[in-house]
Chain A
Amino acid sequence: MIAVSTLVFFIGLGGVLIRRNLITMLMGIELMLNAVNINFVTFNHYLFPHRLEGHFFALIVMAIAAAEAAVAIALIINIYRKFATVSVDDVDELKY
Chain B
Amino acid sequence: MFAILATVIIAFSILSVIERKILRAAIYLLFVLVATAGLFYMMNYQFLAGVQLILYAGGIVVLIIFSILLTSQINSKLDRPKKTHLFSAILTAMGGIGLSVITIFQFAFVPTPAVAAEVNMRTIGLQLMGTGEQGYALPFEVISILLLAALVGTIFIARKK
Contacts and interface: CB of A to CB of B under 8 A. Distances in A.
18 contacts: A1-B2, A3-B104, A6-B101, A17-B88, A34-B32, A37-B52, A41-B40, A45-B43, A47-B110, A50-B115, A52-B123, A55-B45, A62-B55, A63-B55, A66-B59, A67-B150, A70-B150, A86-B72
A71 B21 CA distance: 24
B161 to A, nearest CB: 9
A63 B147 contact: yes
Contacts of B43: 41-42, 45
Contact of B36 (A27, A34, A45, A53): A34
Given A11-B13, A52-B124, A62-B56, A20 B79 contact: yes
B86 A18 contact: yes
Main secondary structure of the interface of A (DSSP, over half): helix
Interface in A22-41: 23-24, 26-28, 30-31, 34, 37-38, 41
B60 interface: yes
B51 A17 contact: no
Contact of A31 (B29, B101, B128, B157): B29
B158 A78 contact: yes
Interface of B: 2, 6, 9-10, 13-14, 16-17, 22, 25-26, 29, 32-33, 36, 39-40, 43-45, 48, 51-52, 55-56, 59-60, 63-64, 66-68, 70-72, 78-79, 81, 85-86, 88-90, 92-94, 96-97, 100-101, 104, 109-112, 114-117, 119, 123-124, 127-128, 134, 136, 139, 143, 146-147, 150-151, 153-154, 157-158
Contacts of B2: 1
A78 B32 contact: no
Contact of A27 (B6, B26, B94, B96): B26
A34 B30 CA distance: 11
A27 B136 CA distance: 29
